[in-house]
Amino acid sequence: MKKIAVILSGCGVFDGSEIHEAVLTLLHIEKLGAQYQCFAPNIDQMHVINHLTGEVDKQVSRNVLIESARIARGEIKDVKELNAQEFDALILPGGFGAAKNLCDFATQGANSIMNKHVENACKQFSELRKPAAYICIAPAIIGHVYPKGVLMTIGTDIDTAEQINQLGAKHVNCDVSDFIYDETFNVISTPAYMLANSIIEANTSIENTISKVFEIMSNDRG
């Protein structure tokens, strides 16, 4: 049975993992007959957002690993334990936590840096040429992980695409139901809620992307 590593970034669209995207990712992995193991960095979130009001709650601090455990039902490990040799593929759901906690792209853009443990984990899959899929805003990480010129998408947002291009990736506009696959580097990206107006549209984006991951695993990895 194939095993897929999933890196989460908290719990909640504005300061962690986008919950719909994370759950849909886990659902489609299991529906296609594979196992998943969730990981997250054991660090404090950049900040905590009140998802009812949209305001920053300056009185509260939350841990990314502990918050991610909510989505994983407690079955989660510190990302520094992730060994790509033990897995067939990697998937990163979106949510602003991917751009706030896994890296600081949300505030630093083209000058962003990654959490060192997340970067190490992602680069392991890149160096082994194992398939990896980045969803929603998570593809902003791709320029940090893969060689210059790697193809990727976050949808059609011009300003975000420009920042990503400055990191060395090459952004390609993409519809919500589609994905961009860079065959050279074996990395896939899809817009999901960067463009989706409903959970159905987000589901189509994620389902198609994960199906592509399984196609690659079947064709290239036996």
Domain harbouring 136, CATH code? 3.40.50.880
Catalytic residue chosen out of the listed positions 11, 103, 122, 136: 136
Domains: count for the chain: 1
pLDDT of residue 42: 98
Give, for all 222 residues of the chain, the pLDDT tens digit.
999 999 999 999 999 999 999 999 999 999 999 999 999 999 999 999 999 999 999 999 999 999 999 999 999 999 999 999 999 999 999 999 999 999 999 999 999 999 999 999 999 999 999 999 999 999 999 999 999 999 999 999 999 999 999 999 999 999 999 999 999 999 999 999 999 999 999 999 999 999 999 999 998 644
DSSP three-state, residue 134: strand
Q: pTM of the prediction?
A: 0.97
Tokens of 11: 């719990």
| Residue 174 falls in the annotated catalytic set | no
Give the sign of the dihedral formed by CA 144, CA 44, CA 154, CA 124: positive
| Nearest Cα to Cα of residue 69 among 141, 6, 134 | 6
DSSP three-state, residue 123: helix
β-strands 187-190, 180-182 pairing? antiparallel
Helices and strands (DSSP H and E) totals, the chain: 8, 9
CA 86 – CA 9 distance, rounded (Å): 21
Q: Which amino acid is at 109?
A: G
* Residue numbers of the domain that contains 169: 3-220
Q: Which amino acid is at 103?
A: C
pLDDT of residue 222: 45
